[in-house]
């Protein structure tokens, strides 16, 4: 009690001797504070408006929609009906199977390759700029352009196709590519990796350049060979960025959409290409089932959130 009083006393002393002035001063101070806050929000309002309208509100609305049904302008709550209907659709499980398959294949091919390429490029003292531009060039192409190139020229199932011509040149068996249910996914992953790996390579390159040279020197003095240096210096030093990009890549590849849409006309031979994102698109914009599409979106969100949580747990536990 005594301490509070003495605190108030000193505060009063600091503010000045006259009681009248004190209240007026605090009012203008409060007024200035209010004006500063208003100015701050005046600068923020445009961005807040756009975030609210196109990010925050849709996020909530998507969850709400998944429990509703709208027919001829009348919206009713239907509980889990949308989810039941979506899960009972036979293509639901096919789509998840395909999406996981795509993600795993893309991880095997698309995750290791950029890291190896970055390690290689980081050792070069010549042609560095040229090689960097090359790797990143496909990232700049509109995906639709690049995918039409793959669809019509590279994956042409006749011997006139680019890939088949190359296979034939080396006397290897040719492939039906998108017309073969087993080759559809690998073909989509090859195209996707070609289009997207440049970004990962450049990010790894930047991370590699931050590794202190002394670490390699010390490892070499200790007799560590090339592979040991990669294993014991390069990988631990870039671990964070490796973990981050793996997660970003998985979240991105789980939403694979334009590859099946263009390369496989959506579903692909014997449903070998249907992805979850494509199914959302199908339900929402072709079957006029926006509520079902929203429910599928919520399921996807839950799967990705669960995956991210487990992943973050696993990668941070090692510390």
Partner 1 sequence: MAQDSGTRTLISQAQLQRGKGKAVYWTLITLTVVIFTLVFIGPLYWMVTGALKSGQEIAQTPPTLFPKHPETQNYADAWNNLNLAKLMFNTFYYAIGAVFFQLVFDTAAAYALSKLRPIFGNVVLGLMLATLMIPAMVVIVPQYVTAIDLPIVHVSMLDSPFAIWLPLVANAFNIFLLKRFFDSIPEDLIAAAMVDGATPLRTLWSIILPMSRPILGVVSIFAVTYVWKDFLWPKLVMPSPETRTLSVGIYAFSGGTPMNVVVAASVIAAIPTVIIFLIFQRNIMSGLTAGSVKG
CA distance 213 to 23: 63
Cβ proximity to partner 1: between 198 and 272 the closer is: 198
Residue 301 sits in the site that holds partner 1 (CB under 8 A): yes
With CB under 8 A as the contact rule, the residue among 105, 154, 263, 267 that binds partner 1 is 154
Judged by CB, which is closer to partner 1: 2, or 226?
226
SS3 69: strand
- Interacting residue with partner 1 among 48, 84, 172, 312 (CB under 8 A): 48
Pattern of binders to partner 1 over 76-115, x per CB under 8 A? Answer: ----------------------------------------
The gap from C-alpha 53 to its chain's centroid, in whole angstroms, comes to 22
- Contacts (CB under 8 A) with partner 1, residues 214-243: 214, 216-217, 220, 226, 229-230, 233-234, 241
Q: Minimum CB separation from partner 1 for residue 183, in Å?
A: 18
- List binders of partner 1 among 161-180 (CB under 8 A): 161-162, 165, 168-169
DSSP-based three-state secondary structure for 77:
strand
Interface pick for partner 1 out of 159, 231, 309, 314 (rule CB under 8 A): 159
Nearest distance, CB of residue 153 and partner 1, angstroms: 5
- Of residues 241-300, those binding partner 1 (CB under 8 A): 241, 244, 251, 254-255, 257-258, 262, 276-277, 280-281, 284-285, 290, 293-294, 297-298, 300
Torsion sign, CA atoms 241, 243, 247, 252: positive
Under the criterion CB under 8 A, does residue 319 sit at the interface with partner 1?
Answer: no
C-alpha count within 13 angstroms, C-beta hemisphere, residue 313: 6
Write the binding mask 122 to 141 for partner 1: x where contact by CB under 8 A, - elsewhere. xxxxxx--xxxxxxxxx-xx
- Least Cβ distance, residue 282 to partner 1 (angstroms): 11
Token duo for residue 19 = 């009681």
Of 14 and 158, CB closest to partner 1: 158
Distances (CA, A) of 246 to 71, 111, 140, 239, 281: 42, 7, 21, 11, 26
d(CA 261, CA 247): 24
* Cα–Cα distance, 130 to 114 (Å, whole number): 16
Handedness of CA 117, 119, 123, 129 (dihedral sign): positive
Closer residue to partner 1 (CB): 22 or 301: 301
Three-point CA angle 43, 47, 52, nearest 5°? 130
């Amino acid at each position: 009690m005594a301490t509070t009083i003495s605190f108030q006393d000193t505060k009063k002393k600091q503010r000045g001797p006259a009681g009248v002035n004190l209240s007026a001063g605090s009012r203008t101070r409060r007024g200035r504070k209010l004006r500063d806050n208003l100015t701050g929000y005046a600068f923020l309002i445009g961005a807040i408006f756009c975030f609210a309208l196109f990010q925050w509100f849709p996020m909530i609305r998507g969850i709400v929609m998944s429990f509703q049904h709208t027919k001829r302008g009348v919206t009713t709550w239907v509980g889990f009906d949308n989810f039941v209907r979506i899960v009972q659709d036979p293509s639901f499980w096919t789509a998840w199977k395909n999406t996981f398959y795509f993600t795993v294949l893309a991880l095997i091919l698309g995750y290791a390759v950029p890291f190896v390429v970055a390690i290689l490029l980081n050792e070069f003292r010549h042609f560095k700029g040229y090689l960097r531009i090359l790797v990143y060039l496909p990232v700049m192409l509109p995906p639709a352009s690049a995918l039409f190139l793959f669809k019509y020229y590279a994956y042409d199932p006749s011997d006139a196709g680019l890939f088949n011509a190359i296979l034939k040149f080396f006397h290897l068996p040719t492939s039906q590519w998108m017309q073969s249910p087993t080759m559809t996914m690998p073909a989509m992953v090859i195209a996707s990796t070609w289009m997207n790996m440049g970004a990962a390579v450049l990010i790894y390159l930047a991370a590699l350049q931050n590794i202190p040279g002394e670490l390699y020197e010390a490892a070499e003095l200790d007799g560590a060979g090339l592979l040991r240096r990669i294993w014991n210096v390069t990988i631990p030093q870039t671990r964070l960025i490796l973990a981050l990009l793996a997660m970003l890549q998985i979240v991105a590849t789980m939403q694979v959409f334009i590859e099946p849409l263009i390369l496989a006309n959506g579903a692909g031979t014997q449903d070998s290409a249907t992805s979850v994102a494509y199914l959302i698109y199908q339900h929402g914009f072709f079957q006029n089932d926006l509520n079902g599409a929203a429910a599928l979106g919520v399921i996807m969100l839950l799967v990705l959130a669960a995956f991210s949580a487990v992943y973050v747990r696993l990668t941070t536990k090692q510390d």
